[in-house]
Chains A and B, each alone.
Chain A
Amino acid sequence: MSATLVQPSKAGLLSTILRSRELAIAVVLVALVLVATAKTESFLFSADGWRNVLLNPAMLVVLAIGQACVIITRSVDLSVGSTLGLTAYFAGRLFIDFPSLPIVVVVLLAVLLGALLGLVNGVLVSFAKVPALVITLGTMYIYRGIFLTWAGSSRITADQIPRSFSQLGTQQIVTIPVLTIVALAVLGVAAYFLSSTRPGRELYAIGSDPDAADLYGLPVLRRVLLAFVASGALAGLAGVMFLARYGTVSSQAGQGIELQAVGAAVIGGVAIFGGSGSALGAAVGAYLLVTINSVLPILGISDFWQQAVVGALILGAIALDRFLSLRQDAALVAARDQAPPSGGGGSPGNPGSSAPSAPTSPQVTA
Chain B
Amino acid sequence: MAAATLVLEDVSKSFGAVRALRSASLTVQPGSIHALVGENGAGKSTLIKIVAGVHRRDGGVFELNGEAADFSSTAESKAAGVAVIYQEPTLFPDLDVSENIFMGRQPGSTLRIDKQRMYAEAAALFERLGVAIDPRRPAKGLSIADQQILEIAKAISLDASLLIMDEPTAALSGVEVERLFTVARQLRDEGRGIVFISHRFEEVFDLCDTVSVMRDGEYVSTETIAETSVEAIVAKMVGREVAELFPKTPAEIGDVVLDVQGLTSPGQFRDVTFQVRAGEIVGLAGLVGAGRSEIARAVFGVDGYSAGRVSLNGAAVAKQNPRSAISAGIAFIPEDRRKQGLVTEGSVARNVAGVIRTGLSRLGVLTSRAENRAAGPWAAKLEVKTSALDMRAATMSGGNQQKVVIAKWLVTQPKLLIIDEPTRGIDVGTKSEVHRLLSDLAGQGMAILMISSELPEVLGMADRVLVVCEGRITADIARDEATPENVMHAATHRDGHVAGATHSAAAGSADSQEVTA
Contact = CB atoms under 8 A, between A and B. Distances in A.
Interface of A: 196-199, 201-202, 204-205, 207-209, 211-219, 271, 275-276, 328-337, 339, 341-349
Interface in B74-107: 74-79, 86, 90-95, 99, 103-106
A270 to B, nearest CB: 12
Nearest to B144: A336
Contact of A209 (B54, B79, B93, B112): B93
A207 B94 CA distance: 9
A269 B74 CA distance: 32
B493 A342 contact: yes
Given A205-B95, A329-B141, A199 B110 contact: yes
B307 interface: no
B112 A196 contact: yes
Which of B110, B111, B270 gathers most chain A CB within 10 Å? Answer: B111
B74 A214 contact: yes
A218 B401 CA distance: 34
Interface SS of B by simple majority: loop
B75 A212 contact: no
B495 interface: yes
A344 B92 contact: no
B117 to A, nearest CB: 13
Given A208-B93, A209-B93, A215-B74, A345 B145 contact: yes
Of all A-B residue pairs in the complex, the 3 with the closest CB atoms, nearest first, are A332-B141, A217-B75, A333-B267
B132 A348 contact: yes
A211 to B, nearest CB: 7
28 contacts: A201-B103, A201-B106, A204-B92, A205-B104, A207-B94, A208-B93, A209-B91, A209-B92, A212-B90, A212-B92, A215-B54, A215-B90, A216-B103, A216-B104, A217-B73, A218-B75, A218-B103, A218-B104, A219-B75, A276-B94, A328-B141, A332-B142, A337-B270, A339-B143, A342-B495, A343-B173, A345-B145, A345-B173
A197 B112 CA distance: 5
Nearest to A196: B113
A212 B78 contact: no
Given A216-B90, A218-B75, 13 more contacts: A198-B110, A201-B103, A202-B104, A208-B94, A213-B92, A216-B74, A216-B104, A271-B94, A329-B141, A332-B142, A341-B470, A345-B131, A345-B149
Contacts of B149: 345
Given A218-B104, A341-B494, A344-B173, A329 B91 contact: no
A198 B73 CA distance: 19
B140 interface: yes
Contacts of A211: 90
A199 B131 CA distance: 30
A199 B90 CA distance: 19
Interface string B54-82: 10000000000000000001111111000
Contacts of B94: 204, 207-208, 271, 275-276
Given A196-B112, A198-B104, A342-B174, A348 B267 contact: no
Contacts of B131: 344-345, 347
A51 B335 CA distance: 60
Interface string B245-270: 00000000000000000000011001
Contacts of A349: 132
Interface in B116-154: 131-134, 140-143, 145-146, 149
Contacts of A219: 75
Contact of B92 (A205, A271, A335, A348): A205
Nearest to B134: A348
Nearest to A331: B141
B95 A197 contact: no
Contacts of B270: 337
B235 interface: no
A202 B113 CA distance: 12
B323 interface: no
B164 to A, nearest CB: 13
A344 B149 CA distance: 12
